[in-house]
Amino acid sequence: MDTRSGSQCSVAPEAVLNNGDLVLPPRISRVNGWSLPLHYFQVVTWAVFLGLSSATFGIFIPLLPRVWKYIAYVVTGGIFFFHLVVHLIASCIDPADFNVRLMKNYSQPMPIFDRSKHAHVIQNQFCHLCKVTVNKKTKHCISCNKCVSGFDHHCKWINNCVGSRNYWFFFSTVASATAGMLCLITILLYILVQYFVDPGVLRTDPNYEDVKNTNTWLLFLPLFPVQVQTLIVVIIGMAVLLLDLLGLVQLGQLLIFHIYLKAKKMTTFEYLIKTRKEESSKHQVARKDPCAQIEDGFLQQGDGALGSSAQGAKVKSFLLIYKSPCHFCTSVNPDGDSSAKEADGVRSLSSLGVKARDSLQIYRRPSPFCSTVHPEGDSTAQEADDEPSRSSL
Ligand SMILES: [Zn+2]
Ligand SMILES: [Zn+2]
């Protein structure tokens, strides 16, 4: 069996280890983000959205002075509503390849991939699991167990794959969430400052005419006023501010990362494969050439490296590989299929010793934005098509 013939694409045929857990492909392909089982990240996402919406429109905006209140209702309300729409669309769209949507019966259990018959799920643009011809940029997702057109990554937060069909809805979801959180932080900071400077500015709503105690505040104005003490408002405000800042940092990084990817005309998957190949290639060269290895070690130390030896430099590089590129999206399982990787010339991943394995463990610890995709077929295809000399290293 020739494992290098044709253009083979990414596969996720079997169970893989992700963050120490065994990930099994579902027997029935998932249609979209609402296919069962729901992911708890998805539940958290919607709970946070509902919680922040309630706090924003029920508690904080009503505290603003009259003019600013209406502006905040329109601007923040528009952003939250836009986010709700694009978030729902990104979750509801079936991102599967056109032929999968055309010919696949989603109610039928998927076959088990037999590696003794095929080296990769997708070979020559034909998926052996979906049984259809697919596009060149289509990948078979392990979480959805189906081929996804223009695969970018599998997002746990929308519990759906992100591909060419829903990428811009996903991007808009991230951008609008970031904008909404910025609005909320602005409102919270204004309220916080005014509370110490001039609290009366925060009590301009007509419902406060009947409230004489300045230690009493009204929530859920103007429709359902609820009287609470100052401490309750402060606790809610601080909790929302912390949650908002945390979300803003994470979403901001994700947004910047995807803006960078679009500027480079790459998908998340392509970026991670490119990064891994570059680093794997660098370490292969270092291992083959003792002089290069030493030089590499010295260079790493010159950068303020982790340790004093060449091995230490390697470990540092591995830490950088798996910690730096993407905290949010598709992660690439580096040892899910060691046999395939070694055939592809990535043998160095399994031979760097205990320290390197430790660095891989760091990579495999839970990251709130990661999911697993098996990249080995794609790596094979690129080496076979673009860099034939590498396989002889
Ligand atoms: Zn497939
Ligand atoms: Zn998926």
SS (H, E, C) 241-287: HHHHHHHHHHHHHHHHHHHHHHHCCCCHHHHHHHHHHHHHHHHHHHH
> Whose atoms come closest to the Cα of 30: which ligand?
2
pTM of the model: 0.69
- In the prediction, which pLDDT does 196 show? 87
Instruction: Give the burial class of 200: count Cβ atoms within 10 A of its Cβ; 0-12 exposed, 13-18 middle, 19 or more buried.
Output: exposed
Cα 317 to averaged position of ligand 2 atoms, centre (Å):
29
Distance, C-alpha 292 to centroid of its chain: 36
- Which two three-digit tokens encode residue 307? 């340790």
Range with top average pLDDT, 75-84, 235-244, 275-284: 75-84
Mean pLDDT score, 130-148: 91
Q: Is residue 9 part of a domain?
A: no
* Number of residues that make up the chain: 393
CB atoms within 10 A of CB 43: 11
- E strand or H helix at 21, and its extent? strand 21-23
Q: Is residue 286 part of a domain?
A: yes
Which residues are marked as active site? 155
Residue 132: C-alpha distances to residues 225, 289, 292, 319 (Å): 59, 44, 46, 39
The reply to whether 226 and 353 lie within a common domain is no
Q: Is residue 7 part of a domain?
A: no
Residue ending a domain, choose from 208, 229, 262: 262
Report the C-alpha gap between 387 and 132 in whole angstroms: 28
- Which two three-digit tokens encode residue 189? 């900071």
The reply to whether 77 and 59 lie within a common domain is yes
Cα 107 to averaged position of ligand 1 atoms, centre (Å):
15
- In the prediction, which pLDDT does 288 show? 59
Q: Is residue 191 part of a domain?
A: yes
> Whose atoms come closest to the Cα of 129: which ligand?
1
pLDDT band at 66 (very low <50, low <70, confident <90, very high): confident
Mean pLDDT score, 172-193: 94
Question: Which residues are in the CB-under-5-Å shell of ion ligand 1?
Answer: 127, 129-130, 140, 147
- In the prediction, which pLDDT does 213 show? 79
The reply to whether 290 and 201 lie within a common domain is no
Cα 35 to averaged position of ligand 1 atoms, centre (Å):
18
Q: What is the largest CA-CA distance in the chain?
A: 84
The reply to whether 293 and 274 lie within a common domain is yes
Supply the range of the domain harboring residue 385.
Answer: 267-392
Packing angle of the helix pair 66-92, 167-197 (nearest 10 deg)? 150
Q: List, as own/partner pairs, every contact residues 279-286 make where C-beta atoms lie below 8 angstroms and the sequence separation is at least 24, other chains included.
A: 279/317, 279/318, 279/321, 280/346, 280/348, 280/349, 281/390, 282/317, 283/314, 283/317, 283/348, 283/352, 284/345, 284/348, 284/393, 285/393, 286/310, 286/314
Q: Is residue 12 part of a domain?
A: no
The reply to whether 136 and 156 lie within a common domain is yes
Cα 84 to averaged position of ligand 1 atoms, centre (Å):
30
Cα 144 to averaged position of ligand 2 atoms, centre (Å):
4
Report the C-alpha gap between 334 and 318 in whole angstroms: 11
pLDDT band at 314 (very low <50, low <70, confident <90, very high): very low
> Whose atoms come closest to the Cα of 142: which ligand?
2
Report the C-alpha gap between 32 and 287 in whole angstroms: 44
Does 47 have pLDDT greater than 50? yes
Q: Please tell me which residue, 390 or 147, carries the higher pLDDT value.
A: 147
- In the prediction, which pLDDT does 204 show? 83
Q: Per DSSP, what are the bridge partners of residue 23? A: 16
The reply to whether 159 and 33 lie within a common domain is yes
Burial 209-248 (b: 16+ CB within 10 A, else e): eeeeeeeebbbebeeebeeeeeeebeeebeebbebbeebb
Does 76 have pLDDT greater than 60? yes
The reply to whether 311 and 354 lie within a common domain is yes
The reply to whether 51 and 142 lie within a common domain is yes
Cα 37 to averaged position of ligand 1 atoms, centre (Å):
20
Residue ending a domain, choose from 227, 262, 297: 262
The reply to whether 86 and 205 lie within a common domain is yes
SS3 content of the chain, % helix, strand, coil (to 5): 55, 10, 35
Q: Is residue 167 part of a domain?
A: yes
- Which two three-digit tokens encode residue 23? 């990930």
Q: Is residue 10 part of a domain?
A: no
The reply to whether 247 and 327 lie within a common domain is no
382, 42 Cβ separation under 8 angstroms? no
Q: What's the domain count of the chain? A: 2
Least Cα distance to 288 among 340, 348, 356 occurs for 348
CB atoms within 10 A of CB 380: 27
The reply to whether 254 and 118 lie within a common domain is yes
3-class SS of residue 127: strand
Cα 161 to averaged position of ligand 2 atoms, centre (Å):
4
Residue ending a domain, choose from 229, 262, 295: 262
165, 94 Cβ separation under 8 angstroms? yes
Does 251 have pLDDT greater than 90? yes
> Whose atoms come closest to the Cα of 126: which ligand?
1
> Whose atoms come closest to the Cα of 151: which ligand?
2
Cα 315 to averaged position of ligand 2 atoms, centre (Å):
31
pLDDT band at 9 (very low <50, low <70, confident <90, very high): very low
The reply to whether 327 and 279 lie within a common domain is yes
Q: Is residue 6 part of a domain?
A: no
